[in-house]
Amino acid sequence: MGWEQHSAGEARLRESYAALPLAAPVRLAKRTSNLFRGRAAFSTGLDVSGLDGVIEVDGDVAEVQGMCTYEHLVEVTLAHGLIPLVVPQLRTITLGGAVSGLGIEATSFRSGLPHESVLEMDVLTGSGDLVTTKPGDDLFDAFPNSYGSLGYATRLRIELEQVPAYVALRHVRFADAQALCDAVICIVEEGAWDGERVDGLDGVAFAPGELYLTLARWTDEPGPTSDYAGQQVFYRSIQQRTPDRLTMLDYLWRWDTDWFWCSRAFGAQHPLVRRVWPRRLRRSDVYWKLVALDRRFGIGDRLDRRAGRPQGERVVQDVEVPVDRLAEFLGWFDREVGMRPVWLCPLRLRDREWPGYPLTSGTTYVNVGFWGVVNVGPEASQSPLNRAIEDKVTELGGHKSLYSEAFYDRDDFDRLYGGAELARVKALHDPDDRLTSLYDKVVRRR
């Protein structure tokens, strides 16, 4: 895609924005979503059909449209031997979505979060203007974690890094959470483990006494590679084999094929089902559609009632906890929630802090991801576990991502997510308040 096509796509977007009635909600007309919170139904949306590609790759920099998925972005950049500094785990996450809603992956311990590698971007604001903004500008700095409440990115200039063809993996087991935390601190400080360079770092806690870190090393060394888009399941391999090797492409999407481990809820990991489940349909956006159907028709609740199980509470969250409080959080989580496995992904800001998601620069955090249903009984509709998780994460000096359900009161929310600065910047670029506020989006689900 070239600049002329990009300009045409922006023109269609602005025309669709101008055509919206003043009282109409402003939403993107998109086919996929990676959000796990409900929102009010709407019949119209902004035309982003011409904003889903890569404009150009020039050296170690790419000009990318906001609705470009990471699946397409990586397809283009790998042809140049390059990838974005951070590639979120799921194929259909868009670059604009990762920047405005945050993203994370195994390179985050050295490269931070996706918005930290953005050099410049164009944003359609609530006033209908296209604004070019750079680091240090009010709009740029407030944009991460704003989830469309400040506007929508149409173009982003991002840094890329050179990568080889393969990734060598080591799955290192730890008998307790504190030992794992100590290893994370060492790897973040030294960039290595047992004398071997670490380029990617994440992990899985299967049980209180069975935790793993997966250490990834970029390599050009030829050799056989595993295929976890076929009959084998990646997360199970963590317990079964080390070392391992993947192509760079398969490493980037190792979690997408089975939506981490959540595809088991649909039977996709059963050997007989897996043989007949088409390979092209083993991907996160397909499972997401199945979840949407379950929510629409209450299939899971019906099955629970039929089986005599207590009513289930959906617990789908990612939280950031300081590494020195991670063992405490996992111990609490085992006692109070009891969901395993959970994903562990260390991260560290590259250089400075961001008002909308105020992690502390110079501090190592670990993202803990947990996704499933816990049968809690008749109080499930009040989301007691999700509320308890919010309280515990705040107590430990952490933060919770906002792609899923949130229950904070307004004062706590503004304190935790830079509400005053967000409101100030929104007033500058959306004086008529056409865009839904962040609190209304993520807590009130409007």
Are 141 and 76 in a shared domain? yes
Residue 299: pLDDT band (50, 70, 90) is confident
Separation between Cα atoms, residue 422 and residue 418, nearest integer Å: 6
Range of the domain at 186: 166-255
Q: Is residue 431 domain-shared with residue 332, that is, in the same domain?
A: no
Same domain flag for 216 and 106: no
Q: What number is the average pLDDT over the span 110-117?
A: 97
- CA 353 to chain CA centroid, nearest Å: 19
Whichever domain contains 433, its CATH number is 3.30.465.10
- Calpha distance 182→169 (Å, rounded): 20
C-alpha–C-alpha distance, residues 316 and 124, integer Å = 30
pLDDT at 440 over 60: yes
- Of 286, 216, 275, whose CA–CA distance to 248 is shortest? 216
Are residue 126 and residue 83 in the same domain, yes or no?
yes
Distance of alpha carbon 287 from alpha carbon 278, whole angstroms: 13
Confidence class for position 296, pLDDT limits 50, 70, 90? confident
Task: Tell me, yes or no, whether 80 and 151 share the same domain.
Answer: yes
User: What amino acid is encoded at 392 in this protein?
Assistant: K
Percentage of residues in the chain having pLDDT higher than 70: 97
Residue 171 sits in the same domain as residue 159: no
**What digits encode the pLDDT tens for the residues 328-359?**
999 999 999 999 999 999 999 998 999 999 99
**How would residue 291 be classed by pLDDT, with cut points 50, 70 and 90?**
confident
Q: What average pLDDT does range 164-190 have in this prediction? A: 98
11/106 same-domain check: yes
Query: H or E element: which one contains 132?
Result: strand 130-133
Q: Which contacts (CB < 8 Å, 24+ apart) does range 394-399 have? A: 396/321, 396/322, 396/325, 396/328, 396/329, 397/321, 397/322, 397/325, 398/319, 398/320, 398/321, 398/322, 398/325, 398/329, 398/365, 399/319, 399/320, 399/357, 399/358, 399/359
Q: Which residues, 6+ apart, have CB-to-CB distance to 286 below 8 Å? A: none
Q: What local confidence, expressed as pLDDT, does residue 298 receive?
A: 77
**Gap between the Cα atoms of 432 and 406, Å rounded:** 26
pTM of the full structure = 0.94
Instruction: Read off the DSSP letter of residue 323.
Output: G
Is residue 95 located within the same domain as residue 143?
yes
Query: Is 44 within a domain?
Result: yes
Do 7 and 147 fall into the same domain?
yes
Mean pLDDT, to the nearest integer, of 309-317? 92
φ, ψ for residue 99, nearest 5 deg: -80, -40
pLDDT band at 292 (very low <50, low <70, confident <90, very high): confident
Answer yes or no: is pLDDT of 326 > 90: yes
The total number of structural domains in the chain stands at: 3
Instruction: Look at residue 444 and tell me whether its pLDDT is greater than 80.
Output: yes
- pLDDT of 41 over the 60 cut: no
- Quickly state the pLDDT bin for 79 (edges 50, 70, 90): very high
Q: Which tens digits make up the pLDDT trace of 367-407?
A: 999 999 999 999 999 999 999 999 999 999 999 999 999 99
The domain spanning residue 305 has which CATH number? Answer: 3.30.70.2520
For residues 85 and 128, state if they share a domain: yes
